[in-house]
Amino acid sequence: MQTPTLVIKFGGTSVGTADAMTRAVSIIADLHRKWPWLVVVTSALAGVTDRLLNEALQAAKHGRTEALEAAEAELFSHHHSIIAELLPNELAWPVEQEIKELLSLFVSLVRAIAVLGEATPRALDAVASLGERMSTRLLASACRAQGLAAEAVDATQLIVTDHRFQNAHPDFDATTKRVRTHLRPLLEAGRVPIITGFIGATPEGITTTLGRGGSDYSAAILGATLPAQEVWIYTDVDGVMTADPRLVPQARTLAEISYRELSELAYYGAKVVHPKTVRPAIEAGIGLRILNTFNPQHPGTRVVREKGEANSQGIGAVTAIRKQRLVTIDGRGMIGIPGVAARAFGAVASTGTSVPFITQASSEQSICFSIPAENVEHVLPALEHAFALELANRDIDRIWASEEIAIVTVVGDGMRETPGVAGKIFSALGQENINVWAIAHGSSDVSMSLVVALADMESAVRAIHRLIEEH
């Protein structure tokens, strides 16, 4: 019979101050009494990774390191303030020395980048990894100060990845072997491993990072390879909410959400874990929960592979992203011409731009899609170049971008099976005199996306959320 095993992950705000780290240690101590095998994954202290990478990028761009000593001092001060408050002298001194050594490595890396005038993805991963390497040592010592048998572990010993620096993909077979060799013995000895989130290493041992949401990804990878019964993600909110509470004060926490709903909400701007990062746990059938470090008694949100029919009741949540513009390609000469969409999106892809929203008229006279507003100056010239002949021949009349717009996305597992949902949404918007510029519905059976004027975004979100409140 497998020993009950839990993997928990703390985000940067959950360990970013002495008070926050005290709460995290208390949670770890409480859970270790209930779960014989407890694995802790932690992010860097809040703000640390951004500061590390900013110095590296500035050095690469300008070749200057005048602010490097100030950055080193500021980063040490951030960690030292927590050490001074939480650790007795006999534990404080060794951690301070380790953090000083890691910051010395940071200075050396940034100076090398400045000399080269280039920050390669491999170099950036080496710099970015230092935040987690410092935080794990600090959190492990804070746990030991409270009598826990905690041990800091670098995930470079456990998570094996490919060579795609800054967005590495794990090798699950190789990682499983490493986990069994290096991690399980610690658990069998009754220790609590405190593991760096966000990072892994190639088979040769070169440090990599796992991309956006990397620390959540680390927790899911370890949960799937141990395997664990549960993976819990601790953040600074009570779970996944029905809307952004800054826009909708009545927003409430969802008790349960499906993986598909989570994917749509994360893609369209909701502050939740990135779906890529929790996929290993979901696919392995491992329980997943999103919880609040600062309100640990709250049950949070449970993420499941599929919700039962009883829990799938139309609209579940609404979210929005701003700073988008709608690009339209139109012309009567487009009718029946194959490959227009392929060429259009090939041109957009050549600029490195992501397209979150697409719709096309059934007559094929126009196609429109949204892109981040800051990318318009690159995308429009690329499209005009790709369709230069059609523009000259007037097969395409124009390629243009709207003013800044917002994409409002309504999510719910039961939307397709619930009659009248779309009608209710448009009625609610109509009552607020909100005009919908474009619609995308059908590619996902759990969401509908609507383009509205930026000025109407908040009103649209509130109007749709009132439909949720009625249930």
Average pLDDT score, the chain: 91
In 3D space, the residue among 179, 222, 194, 230 whose CA is nearest the CA of residue 41 turns out to be: 194
pLDDT score, position 383: 95
Work out the pLDDT band at 292, boundaries 50, 70, 90.
Answer: very high
Longest CA–CA span in the chain (Å) reads 79
Report whether pLDDT(1) > 80.
no
Q: What are phi and psi of 103, to 5 degrees?
A: -70, -30
Each residue's pLDDT tens digit, 54-94: 999 989 888 878 889 999 999 999 999 999 999 999 999 99
Whole-model pTM?
A: 0.88
CA distance 148 to 143: 5
The stretch 240-255 carries a mean pLDDT of: 91
* Phi, psi at 325, each rounded to 5°: -135, 145
Per-residue pLDDT, averaged over 235-259, amounts to 91
- Res 423 pLDDT > 70: yes
Phi, psi angle pair for 264, to nearest 5°: -65, -45
Residue 363 pLDDT > 60: no
- The whole-number pLDDT of residue 101 equals 98
Q: What percent of the chain has pLDDT over 70?
A: 96
pLDDT level of residue 189 (50, 70, 90 thresholds): very high
- pLDDT over 90 for what percent of the chain? 73
CA angle, residues 235, 238, 242, in degrees to nearest 5: 120
Q: How far apart are the first and last CA of the chain?
A: 43
Q: Tokens 């939307």 sit at which residue?
A: 415
User: And the tokens for 215?
Assistant: 């620390």
* CA proximity to 467, closest of 437, 433, 423: 423
Structure tokens at 135: 């935080």
Token reading at 421 = 């949902």
User: What is the reported pLDDT for 361?
Assistant: 66
Helix residue spans in 226-287 (DSSP H): 259-267, 275-283
For the chain, how many residues are written?
471
Q: Is the peptide bond before 203 cis (omega within 30 degrees of 0)?
A: no
Q: Can you give the pLDDT at residue 80?
A: 97
Q: Are 170 and 159 in contact (CB under 8 A)?
A: yes
**Overall average pLDDT of the 286-301 stretch:** 94
Instruction: State mean pLDDT over 265-276.
Output: 76
Residue 180 has pLDDT above 90, yes or no: yes
The model's confidence at residue 312, banded by pLDDT at 50, 70 and 90, is: low
CB contact at 8 A, 111 and 69? no
What is the tens place of the pLDDT at every residue in 341-359?
Answer: 889 999 999 999 989 899 8
d(CA 370, CA 358): 7
Asked if 378 contacts 347 with a C-beta cutoff of 8 angstroms, the reply is no
Give CA–CA dist 469/99, Å, rounded: 49
One-letter amino acid at 6 equals L
Residue 442 has pLDDT above 80, yes or no: no
Which tens digits make up the pLDDT trace of 107-154? 999 999 999 999 999 999 999 999 999 999 999 999 999 999 999 999
- 231 or 363, which is more confident? 231
The tokens describing 78, both together, are 């951030």
What domains appear along the chain, each with residue ranges and CATH number? 5-236 (3.40.1160.10), 317-469 (3.30.2130.10)
Give Cβ neighbours of residue 243 (< 8 Å, ≥ 6 apart): 251, 317, 318, 319, 461, 465, 468
Q: pLDDT tens across 365-398, in order?
A: 788 999 999 999 999 999 999 999 989 988 889 9
416 pLDDT above the threshold of 70:
no
Instruction: Flag whether pLDDT at 336 surpasses 80.
Output: no
The C-alpha angle with vertex 245 and arms to 265 and 269, in degrees rounded to 5, equals: 25
How far is 199 from 154, CA to CA, in rounded Å? 8
pLDDT in tens, 97-118: 999 999 999 999 999 999 999 9
Helices 89-116 & 121-145, crossing angle to 10 degrees?
170
Give the pLDDT of residue 107: 96
The residues near 344 (Cβ < 8 Å, ≥ 6 apart) are 329, 367, 369, 383, 386, 387
Question: Does residue 459 have a pLDDT over 90?
Answer: yes
